[in-house]
Amino acid sequence: MTEHPGRFGTRLAAAVATRGPLCVGIDPHRELLLSWGLTDDVEGLRRFTDAVVEALAGTVAVLKPQSAFYERHGSRGLLVLEDAVATARAAGALVLLDAKRGDIGSTMAGYASVFEPGHPLQVDALTVSPYLGPGSLEPAVDAARRHGGGLFVLARTSNPDAAVFQHAQLDDGRTVAQAVVDQVGRWNTPDWLVGDPAPDPASYAELQGRWGGDTGSFGVVVGATLAELDVDLDGLRGPVLAPGLGAQGGTPADLRRLFGRGRAVVPTVSRDVLGTGPDVGALRAAAARWAAELAG
C-alpha cells in the first residue's frame, strides 16, 4: 500500500527541522483551570485553550491536546477542541490528538476518521492502544496511510505498574512491549521490504538513501522517566513520543541517556509550560526555554 504523498512522517521531520522537537501537551484539567483564575466550565476551557494555542501554535512543532479534558464538558467542549485544532494547524503546528483509542473493526475505523479531510476534528496524528492485538489497529493504519496521518502506539510507558503487561513475555521470548515496537516497525516498512526472504543489503541501502533521513509515519510511546530502555528501537524506523519531561521528573539528560542522539524523538512537556499561564508571553517563554534545553 502506498502512503499518502503528504504523509505525517514527512511533515513531522520538516516541523522538527524548523521548530525543534518539542511537543507541548494541552491538558485543561480542573485544577489547572482554577490555578489560571478561570472557571471550570466551557468558558474557562475556551479561554485556556485559546491562550495556549495563541502562545504556542506559531512556534512549537507539535501540540498534543488530551481529548478527555474536552470530552468531560460534552459537545460544547468538543467544539472548543475542534476550533483549537483548526487554528493550531493553520498556524503551522502539527496536532497530535491524545485519545489512546483502541478497538476493533468498524469502531476503530470510526475513531480513525479524524484523519479524513473535512472532518471537524481533522488532526495530524493520534495516540492508540495496541492491547486488543495488532490486527485491531489495522483500520487506523489504513486510514493514516490513505490520508497522510500518523499513529503513536503505546509501547513502554513509565507509569508505575506498566510493566505488569508490558514486560509479559510471549512464546518467542520477546516482551509485549518489544512486540509492539516490532509491529510498528513493520508498518513503517514498504510492502516489498516485508516478508521472507529479506531484500539484499544493497537494496535496503538504496531505499534508505531515497528516504533521505525522513522518518516513518508510525511511532511508539516510550516514557522519558524509565530507569533504563528495555526495548530495542533499532528496527522502528519511526518517531518516539517521549512523555514525562518536567513535572514528572524527566530531563533532557534522560532523553540522551535513554535514546542517544540521532533518533527521531519527540519529547513532551505539559505542566512545566502550562503552569506559567495565563499570560501568553510567559507560556511562549516557557516553551522557548524547553526548546533551547532540548537543542543543547
Which residues are catalytically annotated?
Answer: 100
Of 193, 258, 251, residue with least CA distance to 221: 258
Contact of 236 with 188, CB cutoff 8 Å: yes
Other C-beta atoms lying within 10 Å of the C-beta of residue 2? 9
Question: What would the grid cell of residue 88 be?
Answer: 493550531
**Residues in Cβ contact with 11 at an 8 Å cutoff, skipping those fewer than 6 apart:** 94, 124, 148
Q: Using CA atoms, how far apart are residues 39 and 161, in angstroms rounded to an integer?
A: 34
For 118: left if phi > 0, alpha if psi spans -120 to 50, otherwise beta; the answer is left
What is the separation of C-alpha 237 from the centre of its chain, rounded to a whole number of angstroms? 15
Using DSSP, state whether 165 is helix, strand or coil. Answer: helix
DSSP 174: -
Using DSSP, state whether 45 is helix, strand or coil. Answer: helix
Q: Using CA atoms, how far apart are residues 178 and 169, in angstroms rounded to an integer?
A: 9
Of 2, 1, 3, residue with least CA distance to 150: 3
Q: How far is CA 26 from CA 82, 100, 114, in A?
A: 13, 15, 18
276 exposure class (CB count in 10 Å sphere: 0-12, 13-18, 19+): middle
